Amino acid sequence: MLSTLARQHLVVQADTGSGKSTRLPLWAQEQGRVLVVEPRRVACLALADYLASQLHSAPGEAVGYAIRFDSCFSAASRVVFVTPGIALRWLADNGLSDFDLVILDEFHERRWDTDLLLALLRNRDTHRLLLTSATLDAERLAAFADARVLRAEGRNHPVSVAYQSGGDVRAMPSLAALEERVCKAVESALPKTEGDLLVFLPGRGEIQRCRTALKGVGPELLALHGSVPAAEQRRALASGTRRRIILATNIAETSLTIPGVRVVIDSGLERRTHQRNGRTVLGLRSVSLASAEQRRGRAGRVAPGHCIRLYGEHAPLELSTPPEVLREELTEPVLAAACCGVPVEQLQFPDPLPVKSRCLAQEKLQRMGALDAQGLATDHGRRLYPLPIDSFFAHLVSAMPDEGCRGATVDLVAALSVSGRLLRMPGDEQGRQALSAWQPIACDATTLVKLVREPFPEALVPDSVTLEDARRLAKQLRDALGLGPLRAGQNHDRERWLRALVEAAPEIAFVRRQKRREAMGNGWSEVVVGRDSRLSDEAEAALVLDQYALPGRGVKETRNIATCCAPVSLTLLAVAGVGEERLAEASWEAGRLRVQAQRVYAGRVIALRERAPGGALARQALAELILAGRLLAPAGARLQDDLAAWALYQSLAEEQAPTTPEPICWLEERLARLGVEQGEDLALLEPEDLAFEGVPEWERERFDAAYPRQLSLGDLKLRVSYEPRRKRVVVEPVEGTRKTLPKRWELPRWKGWTVRYQKASRVVELK
């Protein structure tokens, strides 16, 4: 292997338990300093600890690691384990110049950051690459990476498989009665098997419920997921003194060896990101066949094992999990590529990026000012990228006008960026009263900021692990931005802060629907306020700073649930400039133009004021008054008739839809060309200045006689409209007392045209 690696890249396909995550890094260090990229933080820590112990050295000496919140390595470390996010930031900083070889472990997970790393490293061609996986189309990947494939067999023991599906061989994985089915499988396996049991569940909620349901069964119960404290993670990954049941997410599928596991119980479920209606959402999904095999293999690491699948033997699972770049928004990879000096469209990926998703991501980042027209990072984008948070949250932090607002945003973003919900609304009256007394403002954002900064009453029970992570992230962000430390009682101007947030991201402003009070809109999306939000029913507007999506009724329908809301006044939104100003009513009084102007946002009037307008609003008001005949008469009536005549003239001559402008639009443009900026400028104009040159003057009299737009038959006034394509004329009464229908001979000849008389819903063809 080493001789091959010295000459070219490698793709190593090896079974679970073959040592590809533990032996390859040690062998590869003979070629130079090795960076090992592990998809998960838990695997980074566990593998670094294990390899350091194998070399009889302390962590951070020969073998080190770097993850969010924690790093332990030195210049002397020959092997460093990192998560993909850390590797990408180091690549942006110095091109990974401190390393000679990069191992992308467990590449089959196909995260966007590992796909991007491979694309960037292939584009640079500065490092030897080694890609590893147990389940992967190795030949296809090797062709992409210009690599050679090496295969190795693992030391897995045989694993028998049983199915618990109620007799339905095609039953798909399901949440229905999951805790009961897990308990049944555990109780069935315990007396018949030896060793520890590993139960795969889709998330923390299911793990907690199963843990509660399994209390009293005998073995020690342990949880293993990304938010479990490091001490409990180490307990799960070490040998136990008595039999154990380990309840895990798919974090335990790969890389990690859990000693003593002889039984796997597989729910067949995972929570996986996907796009729905243009947004990345987290949804419950059945695992793929490849993932199911990975899970089964966990039972055969140390001895023959047994796997119980809680679904049908012939359930139609997909072959493999689609790569993240094909199922998620692409804002993060687009910004990461730009900060590494390459527009993302110039990179080649193992699976090409969807063009629509890429373009949407680029447009979003350009609106934020993070990308320039060439697709490269701006100074603002480069400031956002190193922050270990979502690019949108980073944008909010960077856009704040002062240290107080920036500090509040940092603390809020830290609370929203950690895994898991930091605080749920108390279910009892005592808890709700304690919350209101501690933080009287019914604002989720302000509550979270205070929770990160200050001690809280005993009646509130935030998740201690999540709170610790939030405070640690807040400190890391504050250090990176040069802000002062967290302090209890630290104040900021709340009104100024919320206005700054709106100005930085107007789309987070939502207003109540007037008929459906439970819903709020921002003009292009709608949210329903979640049960855990403190937002009052009386609040007419709010900033929605966090939300999640649930499937709606249709295939494309999505229900967005707002979980972090900050109530704001409609006045604040108007002052911040959201929405657009529209003319409500115009008047001309004592030679001066006055208007009532509405500011409209998401279908609601959020402000109304009377003023002397200027610019576009003045021209709109003047145009409406002119067309109504209240100024410069008869210019308005003549303009409307001239435009109607021109539209008909075009249709008759060209037999196609006319391109005639609307009177109001033409008049506003004409006033702009004439230099009108305010009402007083109208004194410089004459009605003739607003004439429309349409039908040639030498044809106009004959044309009006042949195709009048109005007719008078005694006291009967008629409006005439034409449908040239159908050769149809429609006459409608406007005023008059005549009871009988017009006679055909009373009307113009209109040779070859059908003539209809229409009064309300009554239509009569005139012969």
Per-residue pLDDT, 550: 67
Write the DSSP symbol of residue 658.
Answer: -
Task: Tell me: pLDDT of 552 over 80.
Answer: no
Q: What is the pLDDT of residues 634-680, one digit of tens each?
A: 999 999 999 989 988 888 876 555 678 899 999 999 999 999 999 88
Q: What is the pLDDT of residues 701-751, one digit of tens each?
A: 999 999 999 999 988 999 999 988 889 999 999 998 888 889 989 899 898
What value, to the nearest 5°, has the Cα angle with vertex 725 and ends 720 and 731? 15
* Cβ atoms 562, 543 nearer than 8 A: no
Extended beta strands in 669-753, E state? 710-713, 716-723, 728-735
The helix-helix angle for 112-124 and 84-94 (nearest 10°) equals 30
CA pair distance 49, 37, nearest whole angstrom: 15
**Amino acid letter at 505?**
A
How many distinct structural domains can be found in the chain? 6
* Cβ atoms 391, 384 nearer than 8 A: yes
Q: For residue 756, which of 728, 723, 717 has the smallest C-alpha distance? A: 728
Confidence class for position 17, pLDDT limits 50, 70, 90:
low
Write the DSSP symbol of residue 377.
Answer: B
What value, to the nearest 5°, has the Cα angle with vertex 42 and ends 38 and 43? 40
**Amino acid letter at 313?**
E
Whether residues 310 and 362 share a domain: the answer is: no
- Partners of 79 in the β-ladder: 34, 63
- Partners of 717 in the β-ladder: 712, 735
Looking at the domain assignment, is residue 538 inside a domain? yes
Q: What is the pLDDT of residues 110-148, one digit of tens each?
A: 899 999 999 999 999 899 999 987 766 788 888 888 888
Whether residues 347 and 421 share a domain: the answer is: no
User: pTM to 2 decimals?
Assistant: 0.72
Q: What is the pLDDT of residues 568-623, one digit of tens each?
A: 999 999 999 999 988 888 888 888 898 888 899 998 999 988 888 889 989 999 99
User: Residues 230-235: what's their mean pLDDT?
Assistant: 76
Task: Tell me: pLDDT of 561 over 80.
Answer: yes
Q: Of residues 4 and 170, which shows the higher confidence score?
A: 170
* Cβ atoms 117, 88 nearer than 8 A: yes
| 408 CB-contact burial (10 Å; exposed 0-12 / middle 13-18 / buried 19+) | buried
CA pair distance 198, 246, nearest whole angstrom: 5
680-711: burial string, b at 16+ Cβ within 10 Å, e else: ebbeebeeeebebebbeeeeeeebeeebeeeb
Looking at the domain assignment, is residue 655 inside a domain? no
Lowest average pLDDT, out of 78-92, 252-266, 608-622, goes to 252-266
Would you tell me how many other CB atoms lie within 10 Å of the CB of residue 96? 22
Q: What is the DSSP string of 581-598?
A: EEEEEEEEETTEEEEEEE
* Cβ atoms 266, 315 nearer than 8 A: no
Whether residues 145 and 246 share a domain: the answer is: no
Helix (H) or strand (E) holding 132: strand 128-133
**Amino acid letter at 447?**
T
* Cβ atoms 423, 451 nearer than 8 A: yes
Domain that holds residue 380: 329-386
Cα separations in angstroms, 29 against 7, 24, 40, 65, 563: 15, 9, 22, 15, 48
The order of strands in the sheet holding 580-589 is 580-589, 592-601, 604-611
Helix (H) or strand (E) holding 670: helix 663-673
Confidence class for position 511, pLDDT limits 50, 70, 90:
very high
579-616: burial string, b at 16+ Cβ within 10 Å, e else: bebebeebeeeeeebbbebbbbbbebebbeeeeebeee
CA pair distance 405, 407, nearest whole angstrom: 5
Whether residues 97 and 80 share a domain: the answer is: yes
Task: Tell me: pLDDT of 539 over 50.
Answer: yes
Whether residues 10 and 131 share a domain: the answer is: yes
253-262: burial string, b at 16+ Cβ within 10 Å, e else: bbbbbbebbb
Would you tell me how many other CB atoms lie within 10 Å of the CB of residue 319? 8
Write the DSSP symbol of residue 567.
Answer: E
The helix-helix angle for 635-654 and 697-706 (nearest 10°) equals 80
Phi, psi of 70 (to 5 degrees): -155, 140
Extended beta strands in 499-579, E state? 509-512, 519-521, 526-529, 541-551, 558-568
Domain end point (choices 298, 323, 348): 323
Q: What is the DSSP string of 142-186?
A: HHHHTEEEEEE---PPPEEEEE-STT-TTPPP--TTHHHHHHHHH
Name the token pair of 521: 């809109």
Looking at the domain assignment, is residue 698 inside a domain? no
* Cβ atoms 25, 34 nearer than 8 A: yes
Half-sphere exposure of 316 (CA within 13 A, CB side): 0
CA pair distance 9, 508, nearest whole angstrom: 46
User: Residues 242-263: what's their mean pLDDT?
Assistant: 83
Per-residue pLDDT, 136: 67
Task: Tell me: pLDDT of 556 over 60.
Answer: no
CA pair distance 452, 172, nearest whole angstrom: 42
Whether residues 451 and 569 share a domain: the answer is: no
Q: For residue 248, which of 239, 257, 240 has the smallest C-alpha distance? A: 257
Domain end point (choices 386, 412, 435): 386
Per-residue pLDDT, 657: 58
Task: Tell me: pLDDT of 555 over 50.
Answer: no
Residue appearing with tokens 């692990």: 465
| 621 CB-contact burial (10 Å; exposed 0-12 / middle 13-18 / buried 19+) | buried
* Cβ atoms 543, 502 nearer than 8 A: yes
CA pair distance 511, 523, nearest whole angstrom: 9
Omega cis (within 30) before 634: yes
Looking at the domain assignment, is residue 583 inside a domain? no
Looking at the domain assignment, is residue 665 inside a domain? no
Whether residues 146 and 65 share a domain: the answer is: yes
Would you tell me how many other CB atoms lie within 10 Å of the CB of residue 310? 24
Half-sphere exposure of 635 (CA within 13 A, CB side): 22
Task: Tell me: pLDDT of 385 over 60.
Answer: yes
CATH assignment of the domain containing 25 = 3.40.50.300
Rg of the chain, C-alpha, whole Å: 35
3-class SS of residue 114: helix
Looking at the domain assignment, is residue 447 inside a domain? yes
Whether residues 38 and 116 share a domain: the answer is: yes
Whether residues 282 and 180 share a domain: the answer is: yes
Q: What is the pLDDT of residues 445-471, one digit of tens each?
A: 999 999 999 888 877 877 777 888 889
Q: For residue 623, which of 586, 580, 596 has the smallest C-alpha distance? A: 586
* Cβ atoms 651, 722 nearer than 8 A: yes
Phi, psi of 418 (to 5 degrees): -80, 160
3-class SS of residue 544: strand
Domain end point (choices 275, 308, 323): 323
Mean pLDDT in the chain?
87
Looking at the domain assignment, is residue 477 inside a domain? yes
Whether residues 501 and 551 share a domain: the answer is: yes
User: Residues 547-558: what's their mean pLDDT?
Assistant: 62
Looking at the domain assignment, is residue 78 inside a domain? yes
Whether residues 98 and 130 share a domain: the answer is: yes
| 455 CB-contact burial (10 Å; exposed 0-12 / middle 13-18 / buried 19+) | exposed
Per-residue pLDDT, 658: 60
- Partners of 610 in the β-ladder: 596
Name the token pair of 610: 């009377």
520-543: burial string, b at 16+ Cβ within 10 Å, e else: bbbbebbbbbbeebbbeeebbbbb
* Cβ atoms 342, 123 nearer than 8 A: yes
State in Å, rounded, how far the first CA of the chain is from the last one. 96
Whether residues 481 and 506 share a domain: the answer is: no
CA pair distance 21, 254, nearest whole angstrom: 10
